[in-house]
């Protein structure tokens, strides 16, 4: 069979610097493979082979003087066509078609050329200013002022495989899928739940065969799954075993990296053992894992609003050593306020009125806290929950966000001029005239610790059969529990409108807490309040993430979406 080569798709990556990856699909000797390569890797192959064929030309000095929108489309299309032609010519050539360097380039997950110095020709033109292009010091490993296309990621939970089989996913909507979960074992290895590894393999195969460039990363731990995390990191011998097990999982399942979901170092979390040396041991683990996996694989960690707790029990003031080894930290900006007789926001954008009793527990605060500890925004993913909480309560307003201080104007929707940007790190206030009216929150007591953001397997999955009479939505069976967004909608308490947003239904009234940027529903006669995130609040978070230079957003978890509605909102507002 003659070799078949296509390069029709591309994606972007942020490490070691923002760059374009071209998706190379090839059928060679009856074997199909998909690899992702930078333009500079094609150049390196060309220089290694010393072949006489032609690569698409370098364009950096020209593109820095041309409008970037035109450049992006034109340059990438030109390179896809030219690179396809170049590889096709090599595969037709008796002199080069069996060259080890070419075969390794087309089939190896990591060709080794990731170790080359970063080439400016790999950058997305629209993310690189002329000044940055001309003045960049390529030996400097710090942030260089270029911005990658933000990432839209999601956690894929193994218990959702029946309803959301990997083979049916639209991978064009996800840049990274974090597969949850494997767990550390008592022998410093890892364990998979029954059937979980088979689902993981299906997910990785489907993602890579899609040609969309979606990366699949294994998440290890989770709330209730960290019993042996501290011991697995506690000694050099244990870390070696653990790293070996993690690398084997990556290799054997065709994965793109590891997500360390330790909830939490030097903290009891769900009741696991812990040690004052946990944070230091975690750093040693991450360094060993990076050496083992190489530079091209993702190493991330799901984290709370504050950096990990050091030996003194306080949040680390300097986490730059972690940042130098890691691809991302995934901030779990949720579970800030659970079900309560005094309901509060699950996932506040910020302390927008300036008087919250838990000012460290929001997206804005988390970004400030991690940046202050040495993590650049370009390595931070913001977590967005696709679920809410159902409270037994007769409240009509949310507590926990509190009233504004006397010297701060409470901005109501009608008082906000079009385009107004909140002073706190660029939070976009609601501007659409069809958005829900805001309501003024009242003083209340904090019910949960702000570090409670977690990835937990639900204790009970509830489903609603058929469509519910919109006049009689009832969520009392959910009191005290998390509720998926799609379950709120299916109950009839939320109704999807023709513009793609959601309004109140089923006897519920929609409110808005402008101090945290949170929608909620209430039904006094049923003593029910639902706090959640919708298209409006999620759009605000994604816009804020893009404006503040974050790597992007992720959701927990994709199975709780109303189809792809919320994921599409994230992508749109990230500029994808």
Q: What is the model's pLDDT at position 443?
A: 23
What's the N-to-C CA distance of the chain in angstroms?
Answer: 38
- Do residues 375 and 319 touch, judged by C-beta distance below 8 A? yes
For 456, the 3-state DSSP assignment is strand
Q: What is the model's pLDDT at position 34?
A: 86
Query: Does 32 fall in a domain?
Result: yes
Q: Find out whether the peptide bond into 181 is cis, omega within 30 degrees of 0.
A: yes
**pLDDT > 80? residue 164:** yes
Higher-confidence residue of 12 and 507: namely 507
Segment 114-119 mean pLDDT: 58
pLDDT tens-place string over residues 342-376: 999 999 999 888 767 788 999 999 999 999 999 99
Give ∠ CA 246-38-35 in degrees, rounded to 5: 50
* pTM across the whole model: 0.70
Q: What is the model's pLDDT at position 229?
A: 98
Q: Count of domains in the chain? A: 1
The CA dihedral of 366, 367, 368, 371, to the nearest 10 degrees, is: 120
Dist. CA 187–CA 224, nearest whole Å: 18
Query: Does 545 fall in a domain?
Result: no
Beta bridge partners of 4: 27
Phi, psi of 270 (to 5 degrees): -85, 15
- Do residues 349 and 430 touch, judged by C-beta distance below 8 A? no
User: What's the token pair of residue 384?
Assistant: 């967005």
Dist. CA 10–CA 211, nearest whole Å: 9
Beta-carbon contacts of 183 under 8 Å, excluding residues fewer than 6 positions away, are: 190, 191, 220, 221, 222, 225, 226, 227, 228
Query: Does 343 fall in a domain?
Result: no
Query: Does 380 fall in a domain?
Result: no
Q: What is the model's pLDDT at position 483?
A: 98
Q: Where are the alpha helices (DSSP H) in 446-494?
A: 485-491
Phi, psi of 461 (to 5 degrees): -95, 120
pLDDT tens-place string over residues 530-570: 999 999 999 999 999 999 999 999 999 999 999 999 999 99
Domain that holds residue 107: 4-135
> Is residue 547 exposed (0-12), middle (13-18) or buried (19+ Cβ within 10 Å)?
middle
Segment 133-151 mean pLDDT: 47
Give ∠ CA 245-249-251 in degrees, rounded to 5: 115
- Residue where the block lists tokens 């759009």: 539
**pLDDT > 80? residue 427:** no
Segment 91-112 mean pLDDT: 82
Q: What is the model's pLDDT at position 20?
A: 86
Give the lowest-confidence range in 240-249, 367-376, 415-424.
415-424
145 closest CA partner among 163, 164, 159, 132: 132
Dist. CA 193–CA 85, nearest whole Å: 45
**pLDDT > 80? residue 262:** yes
The overall average pLDDT reported for the chain is: 82
- Residue where the block lists tokens 């509830």: 462
Give, in order, the Cα–Cα distances in Å from 273 to each of 230, 364, 457: 7, 31, 20
Count the Cβ atoms, other than its own, within 10 Å of residue 523. 20
Query: Does 313 fall in a domain?
Result: no
Segment 91-108 mean pLDDT: 89
Give, in order, the Cα–Cα distances in Å from 203 to each of 166, 199, 494, 515: 5, 6, 31, 39
Query: Does 101 fall in a domain?
Result: yes
274 closest CA partner among 266, 262, 263, 284: 266
Q: Residue 126: which pLDDT band, with cuts at 50, 70 and 90?
A: low
Higher-confidence residue of 573 and 429: namely 573
Distance of CA 12 to the CA centre of its chain: 14
Identify the top-confidence range among 79-83, 92-96, 380-384. 380-384
Phi, psi of 366 (to 5 degrees): -60, -45
Q: What size, in residues, is the chain?
A: 576
Buried b (16+ CB within 10 A) or exposed e, 391-404: bbbebebbbbbbeb
**pLDDT > 60? residue 438:** no
Give, in order, the Cα–Cα distances in Å from 310 to each of 83, 316, 462: 49, 5, 39
Q: What is the model's pLDDT at position 463?
A: 41
Q: Find out whether the peptide bond into 329 is cis, omega within 30 degrees of 0.
A: no
Give the lowest-confidence range in 33-42, 117-126, 357-366.
117-126
Beta bridge partners of 429: none
Higher-confidence residue of 74 and 549: namely 549
pLDDT tens-place string over residues 439-460: 322 222 223 333 457 887 665 4
Q: Can you give the CATH number for the domain in which 64 is found?
A: 3.30.1520.10
Identify the top-confidence range among 353-362, 378-387, 438-447, 507-516. 378-387
Query: Does 280 fall in a domain?
Result: no
Q: What is the model's pLDDT at position 411?
A: 27
pLDDT tens-place string over residues 166-223: 999 999 999 999 999 999 999 999 999 999 999 999 999 999 999 999 999 999 999 9
């Amino acid at each position: 069979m003659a070799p078949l080569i296509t390069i029709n798709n591309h994606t972007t990556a942020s490490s070691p610097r923002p760059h374009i990856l071209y998706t190379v699909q090839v059928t060679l000797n009856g074997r199909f493979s998909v690899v992702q390569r930078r333009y500079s890797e094609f150049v390196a192959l060309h220089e290694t082979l010393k072949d006489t064929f032609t690569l698409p030309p370098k364009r950096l000095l020209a593109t820095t003087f041309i409008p970037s929108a035109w450049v992006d489309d034109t340059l990438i299309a030109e390179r896809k066509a030219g690179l396809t032609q170049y590889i096709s010519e090599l595969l037709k050539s008796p002199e080069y078609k069996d060259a080890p360097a070419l075969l390794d380039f087309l089939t190896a997950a990591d060709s080794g050329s990731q170790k080359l110095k970063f080439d400016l020709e790999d950058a997305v033109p629209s993310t690189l200013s002329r000044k940055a292009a001309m003045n960049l010091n390529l030996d400097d490993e710090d942030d260089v002022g270029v911005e990658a296309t933000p990432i839209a990621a999601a956690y894929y939970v193994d218990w959702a495989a029946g309803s959301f089989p990997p083979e049916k996913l639209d991978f064009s909507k996800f840049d990274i899928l974090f597969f949850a979960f494997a767990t550390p074992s008592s022998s410093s290895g890892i364990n998979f739940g029954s059937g979980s590894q088979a689902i993981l393999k299906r997910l990785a195969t489907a993602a890579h065969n899609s040609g969309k460039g979606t990366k699949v990363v294994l998440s290890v731990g989770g709330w209730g799954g960290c019993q042996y995390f501290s011991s697995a990191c506690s000694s050099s011998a244990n870390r070696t075993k653990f790293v070996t097990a993690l690398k084997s999982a990556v290799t054997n399942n065709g994965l793109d990296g590891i997500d360390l979901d330790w909830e939490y170092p030097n903290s009891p979390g769900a009741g696991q053992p812990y040690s004052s040396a946990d944070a230091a041991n975690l750093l040693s683990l991450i360094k060993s894992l990076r050496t083992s996996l190489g530079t091209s694989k993702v190493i991330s960690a799901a984290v709370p609003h504050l950096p990990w707790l050091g030996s003194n029990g306080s949040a680390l003031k300097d986490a730059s050593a972690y940042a130098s080894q890691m691809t991302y930290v995934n901030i779990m900006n949720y579970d800030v306020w659970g079900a309560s007789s005094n309901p509060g926001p699950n996932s506040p954008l910020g302390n927008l009125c300036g008087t919250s009793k838990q000012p460290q527990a929001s997206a804005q605060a988390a970004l400030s806290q991690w940046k202050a500890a040495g993590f650049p925004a370009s390595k931070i993913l913001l977590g967005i929950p696709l679920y809410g909480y159902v409270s037994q309560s007769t409240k009509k307003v949310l507590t926990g966000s509190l009233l504004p201080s006397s010297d701060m104007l409470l901005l109501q929707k009608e008082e906000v001029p079009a385009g107004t940007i909140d002073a706190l790190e660029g939070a976009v206030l609601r501007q659409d005239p069809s958005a829900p009216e805001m309501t003024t929150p009242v003083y209340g007591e904090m019910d949960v610790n702000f570090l409670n953001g977690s990835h937990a397997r639900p204790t009970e999955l509830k489903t609603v059969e058929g469509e519910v009479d919109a006049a009689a939505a009832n969520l009392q069976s959910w009191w005290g529990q998390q509720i998926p967004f799609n379950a709120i909608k299916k109950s009839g308490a939320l109704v999807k409108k023709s513009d793609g947003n959601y309004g109140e239904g089923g006897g519920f009234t929609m409110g808005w807490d402008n101090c945290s940027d949170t929608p909620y529903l209430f039904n006094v006669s049923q003593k029910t309040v639902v706090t959640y995130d919708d298209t409006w609040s999620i759009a605000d978070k994604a816009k804020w993430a893009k404006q503040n230079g974050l790597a992007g957003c992720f959701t927990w978890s994709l199975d709780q979406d109303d189809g792809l509605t919320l994921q599409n909102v994230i992508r749109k507002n990230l500029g994808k």
